[in-house]
Amino acid sequence: MKNVLVISSSLRKGSNSEILAQEFAKGAAEAGNKVEFESLRGKNIAFCKGCLACQKKGKCVIKDDANAITQKMKNADVIVFATPIYYYEMSGQLKTMLDRANSLFVSDYRFREIYLLATAADSDKKAMNIAKRGINGWIACFENAKFKAGLCGTSAEKPGDIKAHTVVLKRAYTMGKNV
């Protein structure tokens, strides 16, 4: 059994990327893993100030919701990031959360496997390539972690459009099942 943390970064309830993340979570849970679903919607997460105090203190000095999420990231075996693609990049909410998780760099983190789930209005699966590069840049700072897999649901412009893409939903479920 693995501890799987799914972080949904869309601020829209029932968003396409959140639906994809829920399918992954369902598969991972049905495979016997402990799964926690964390949405950034409604969370107070300030921008990183770049002070690097977290490197000495082991947590960020800004008192908001990012510290609790970072602690969950630290204790997860698997982290799944779900994001809508905006201008061919991950959401600003996800990038801000990654920046705020800087304290993990000097910690005894558990995560080893990182997944990226994305949805885009664009019909080209390459729409997530820049977001994937950004996630891989974050992973590069953690020598024990690796990018395990990514999935992009395309042609999903309006909330719920991804529900019509049963093949993509099944792939997300199967990815979760195979964690």
Can you tell me the mean pLDDT for 57-65? 95
pLDDT of amino acid 74: 98
Question: Tell me, what amino acid is at 25?
Answer: A
What's the Cα-to-Cα distance from 5 to each of 37, 45, 77, 99, 155, rounded to whole Å?
6, 18, 8, 18, 26
pLDDT of amino acid 125: 87
pLDDT of amino acid 18: 98
At 62-94, the pLDDT tens digits run 999 999 999 999 999 999 999 999 999 999 999
Can you tell me the mean pLDDT for 31-59? 96
As a whole number of angstroms, the distance between CA 79 and CA 179 comes to 11
Query: What are the φ/ψ torsions at residue 39 (nearest 5 degrees)?
Result: -100, 140
At 14-23, the pLDDT tens digits run 999 999 999 9
At 101-159, the pLDDT tens digits run 999 999 999 999 999 999 999 999 899 999 999 999 999 999 999 999 999 999 999 99
Q: What is the CATH number of the domain that holds 27?
A: 3.40.50.360
Kindly report the pTM of this predicted structure: 0.97
Q: Which domain holds residue 57?
A: 3-177
pLDDT of amino acid 160: 95
pLDDT of amino acid 157: 92
Q: What's the number of domains the chain is made of?
A: 1
